[in-house]
A and B are shown apart, each in its own frame.
Chain A
Amino acid sequence: MRGLLNKVVSRSLSVAGKWQQQQLRRLNVHEYQGAELMGKHGINVPKGVAVSSIEEVRKAIQEVFPNQSEIVVKSQILAGGRGLGTFKSGLQGGVHIVKSEKVEEIAGKMLGQVLVTKQTGPQGKVVSKVYLCEKLSLTNEMYFAIMLDRQTAGPLIIACKKGGTSIEDLAEKFPDLIIKVPIDVFEGITDEDAAKVVDGLAPKSADKKDCIEQVKKLYKLFCDSDCTLLEINPIAETADNKLVAADAKLNFDDNAAFRQKELFALRDPTQEDPREVAAAKADLNYIGLDGEIGCMVNGAGLAMATMDIIKLHGGTPANFLDVGGNASEGQVVEAFKILTSDDKVKAILVNIFGGIMKCDVIASGIVNAAKQVSLKVPVVVRLEGTNVDQGKRILKESGMALITAEDLDDAAEKAVKALSS
C-alpha cells in the first residue's frame, strides 16, 4: 500500500521534484495567492479573481469579466490533481470551463464542499475559495521551474519546450529536452542566462526580448520571496503572443518567516491538520501520522529513529514530534496535550536524550501536563543526558503511574507492550 501511495505521490509531484532533490516546504499558498504575488512582480498571469460566496461570484462576473463568454472556475485547495478529483457531494472535477451564465451554478456546487483528489487523501480538503479566471487560448504549453539545487549549491532554472501534464513521461523519454541553467547567486541572472532559458523554452511566436524580461522577473520573485520552488506548468503562449504563467506552484522557506511576514500571513489553516495547527501555535515541530503510539522526542534525527524503532517492535507511530533543545516547560505541557487529545493514541512514548534540553525541564513538564490533562493512556518515559538524575527524581516523586525505560530498545518494547494493557 505504501509502495502504491509512494508511486501515486511521486507521479503527481512535479518533474522538478522527480530528478532534483528539492524542498517541499510547509508554506504552500493557493493558486490565486500565487497569481497575485506574480502579478505584483510584473509577471504575466491570466486575469482572475478569488471569491468565497455566490454574491462575490456575481460581482466578479459583472465587474471583471463582463465580456467573457467562457470562464475557468477553479477550486482552491492546497493539493494537486484538482482537475481529476471528485467532490464528496458528487460533482466531478475541481476545475471547470463553463459559459459565464453557468458560473454561479458551478461555483455554488464547489464552495464549502470537500474535494477529494489523489493528493489530498481520502478525507479530502474543503474548498473555501474558488478562483475565477479568464479562459486563455493557449497556443503552446511549456514548462518552467526555479529551485535551490543541492548539487550546484545555488538557484537552478529548468526549462522544457513541452509542458503540460505529461511532463514526467517526457523527462524520462527525452531528457535532452530539459534545459538546466544554474545561476551564480552573487551575480544574479544575466541576460545570457535568461537567453539560454528562453532558448530552452523555444517559444514559437512570443517576442524573445519580452520572454527574457519575464524570466528575469520570475527569478527576482524567486529570490525576493525566499522561494524554495517556483514551478510554472504550463507557461504558455497566448494568441496575442504573450508569455503567460497559466498555473504556478510556489513553495516558501519556513526559515525565512521572520523576514517574509506578509507572505506567511497568507497561510491557510483550514487546509492543514488541526493537530499541526495547534502545534505550530506552540512553536512545536509536529507532523501527524495515523498510528497508535504518540511520540515526544528531542531532536529531529532521534524523533525519526524513535518512529523507526517503534515500527521495528511492531507498533505504529502516531506522529513525529521534536520538542527541540530550547523547549520550555509550557511547550512540553502543550505537546503533551496535543498527544493526549488524539483519539487514536493508545500509548505515549517520551524519549529524551538531553544535550541542551534538560531532563528536569521535561520531567516537570510531564508532571504538570498530567495534572492539567487526565492521562488515560500509559506513558513510557526514557530519559538520558543533562540533569538526568533530577529528571528521574521529579518523575518518581510525582507519584504518577509512569513506565520508565533505560534505553531505546527497552522504551520501544515497553511502549508496544503497553498498547495491549
Chain B
Amino acid sequence: LSAPLAGCQGRANPHNGQSNPKVRNDDFHFLRLITPQKTFLSPIFPYHLAKRLIPNYFALRSRAAVLLPRQALIVNKRSAQMARQATRLVASLSSKLRSPSPRITPPSSSSSHSLSQSRSFAAAPPPPPAVFVDKNTRIICQGITGKNGTFHTEQAIEYGTKMVGGVTPKKGGTEHLGLPVFNSVAEAKAETKANASVIYVPPPFAAAAIMEAMEAELDLVVCITEGIPQHDMVRVKAALQRQSKTRLIGPNCPGIIKPGECKIGIMPGYIHKPGRIGIVSRSGTLTYEAVFQTTAVGLGQSTCVGIGGDPFNGTNFVDCMEKFLADPQTEGIVLIGEIGGTAEEEAAALIKASKTEKPIVAFIAGLTAPPGRRMGHAGAIVSGGKGTAQDKIKTLKEAGVTVVESPAKIGTAMFNVFKERGLVN
C-alpha cells in the first residue's frame, strides 16, 4: 500500500490562513483512492478487513463522513453550509486527483502524515495537552449507543474531535456512527489506543462506568451524567484519590472543549472561537453565556472546562487554575462559581499565592438564592450560613479577582481588563 501513500501530497491547506480543523486533506485523499465515494461508509463494507490494513481506518472514516452531506448530521443551517463547502472542496480535490500522471512525491519529513507516522516509524509522542485535552486526544464514548451518546458523539465527530470508538456492554463487535463498539473500556483502549473517555451512561450505572475507565488507566474521563447518588460518588472520589493515572472531570458537567481542536461534551461548538481566555465553571448554560460574550468581544477561548454542579466531583477550580496559570495560550481566566461548598474560596487562595499577572474575572451565581434550598445542582446550597455567594465574592475580590455583578458583563469586564493592561489594541 505504499504507492497510494506516496501518491498523496503533504499536508497542503488550500484555505491558506484559515485553519479548518475538519479537513485533513492527505487522510481524505488516501481513502478516496482506495474506495469510490460513499461506499466506505456503507455498513456492508468489510471494515474489519480494512481495519487490519489501515490502523487509523476508523478515525479516517469518521472524519471523511463529515465531508459528505448527510441529512442525519445536519442539525442547523451552519453545519449544512459547512457540509456544502466541504462537498465543493471534495469535488475540487477529486478532480485534481484524477489527473493522468500521478505525481509521486515522497512524503517530506516536515509534513505530518498521520498514516505513515503510525505505520512506518515511531514518531516522538506529542507533548501532553496544556489543559487536559487537545487535538491529539483520542476519545471513546461509554454509552455510545444510547440516545445522548449517539447525538453527542455525532456532534463531536462533526466538530473534528478524535472519536475513536465506543463502549456498550453486549454490543461489542458492532459498529455505531462509523465507530467500533466494544464490550469494555479495557478492550476499547487496547484496540483504539484511546487515552480519554466520555460517559453518557444513566445515573444507576454511571459510577461503575467511571470506575471501569479508572481501572483501564485512561488519562482522562469526562462524566456528563447528572443524578449520580452521592454515596456512589463518594466511593469514586475515594478511589480517584488513591491513584494518579486517571483524572475525572464531572460528573454532572457539560464537558470540556478546546475550540478548534477537541470537543468532549454537550456544549454547542459554534459559539466557541480559538483564543486567549480559559474558562472554568460549575455551570453548563451559564458557561455558554461567558463563551458567547468572550467570543463577541474578540478574545476567544483557549480551553473551557465544566467541572460540574455536584458536591463530590473529580476536578475542581484549583486543578483547572493550576493548568491555566501554566498555559501560555491562556492569557486571561474566567471563573464561574455558585453557592455551596468552598471550591471558590480555595481557588482564591491559590490565585493569591500564585501572584499571577493574568487577568481573572469571576461571576458567582446565586446571590438571590434563598438559604437552605438546593438550587438545581446538588452542590448548590447555602446551609448553616456557609457557602453564600457574598462570602465567595468577598474572598475572590481580596485575591485580586475582578468579580462582576451582572452575568451579562463577563465578556466586557475581561476586555476592559485586557485593555487596561495593554493586552488589546
Give A residues with C-beta under 8 Å from B: 5-6, 9-10, 13-14, 16-26, 148, 150, 153-155, 184-186, 223, 226, 228, 253-256, 258-259, 285, 287, 289, 297-305, 307-312, 317, 320, 322, 325-326, 353-357, 384-387, 389-390, 407-409, 412
Contacts and interface: CB of A to CB of B under 8 A. Distances in A.
A185 B235 contact: yes
Contacts of B151: 356
A254 to B, nearest CB: 8
B288 A253 contact: no
**Interface SS, A side:** mixed
B387 A21 contact: yes
B378 A19 contact: no
A253 B384 contact: no
A300 B358 CA distance: 29
Contact of B289 (A5, A223, A258, A305): A305
Contacts of A14: 384
6 contacts: A6-B385, A185-B234, A300-B377, A302-B365, A325-B284, A356-B151
Contact of A301 (B203, B267, B283, B384): B283
Given A254-B374, A312-B405, A353-B289, 10 more contacts: A21-B311, A148-B311, A153-B238, A185-B234, A258-B204, A287-B375, A300-B376, A304-B376, A389-B77, A407-B408
Interface residues of B, number: 70
B336 interface: yes
Contacts, number: 217
B299 to A, nearest CB: 17
A355 B238 contact: no
A385 B288 contact: yes
**Interface SS, B side:** loop
A230 B96 CA distance: 73
B338 A301 contact: yes
Contacts of B289: 302, 305, 353, 408
Interface string B365-396: 11111111111111011011111000000000
Contact of A300 (B266, B283, B368): B283
Interface in B253-282: 254, 266-268, 271, 281-282
A196 B287 CA distance: 45
Contact of A307 (B229, B369, B372, B406): B369
Rank and list the top 10 A-B pairs by shortest CB-CB distance, nearest first.
A301-B283, A300-B376, A299-B285, A17-B384, A301-B286, A10-B385, A408-B408, A302-B285, A304-B365, A409-B408
A305 B384 contact: no
A399 to B, nearest CB: 24
B376 A355 contact: no
Contacts of B288: 302, 353, 355, 384-385
B76 A387 contact: yes
A255 B365 contact: no
B75 interface: yes
B378 A23 contact: yes
A23 B375 contact: no
A184 B385 contact: no
A155, A298, A355: residue with the most chain B Cβ atoms closer than 10 Å = A355
B336 to A, nearest CB: 7
B407 interface: yes
A305 B362 CA distance: 13
A195 B112 CA distance: 64
A309 B203 contact: no
B417 to A, nearest CB: 19
A305 B407 contact: yes
B230, B235, B378: residue with the most chain A Cβ atoms closer than 10 Å = B230
A18 B285 contact: no
Contacts of A186: 235, 238-239
Interface string B46-88: 0000000000000000000000000000011100000000000
Contact of A154 (B238, B365, B366): B238
B407 to A, nearest CB: 4
Contacts of A287: 370, 373, 375
A253 B367 CA distance: 24
A253 B231 contact: yes
A177 B381 CA distance: 27
A320 B369 contact: yes
Interface of B: 75-77, 148, 151-152, 203-204, 227-231, 234-235, 237-239, 241, 254, 266-268, 271, 281-289, 292, 309, 311-312, 336, 338-342, 363, 365-378, 380-381, 383-387, 405-409
B340 A255 contact: no
Nearest to A154: B234
A148 B378 CA distance: 13
A253 B366 contact: no
B247 to A, nearest CB: 15
A404 to B, nearest CB: 16
Given A19-B386, A287-B375, A297-B285, A309 B231 contact: no
Contacts of B152: 356
B230 A9 contact: no
A305 B365 CA distance: 5
Nearest to B284: A299
A300 B282 CA distance: 10
B76 A389 contact: yes
A23 B234 contact: no
Contact of A289 (B75, B234, B370): B370
B375 A304 contact: yes
Contacts of A23: 230, 311, 374, 378, 381, 383
Contacts of B386: 17-21
B365 A18 contact: no
Contact of A299 (B268, B286, B311, B405): B286
A255 B230 contact: yes
Contacts of B285: 297-299, 301-302, 353, 355, 357
B309 A301 contact: yes
B231 A226 contact: yes
Given A21-B386, A185-B234, A256-B231, A301 B312 contact: no
Contacts of B341: 21, 150
A186 B238 CA distance: 8
A301 B230 contact: no
A185 B373 CA distance: 27
Contacts of A355: 254, 266-268, 284-285, 288
A308 B286 contact: no
Contacts of B271: 385
A325 B266 contact: yes
Given A9-B371, A312-B405, A258 B203 contact: yes
Contacts of A322: 376
Contacts of A384: 288, 292
B298 to A, nearest CB: 16
Given A19-B386, A289-B370, A309 B284 contact: no
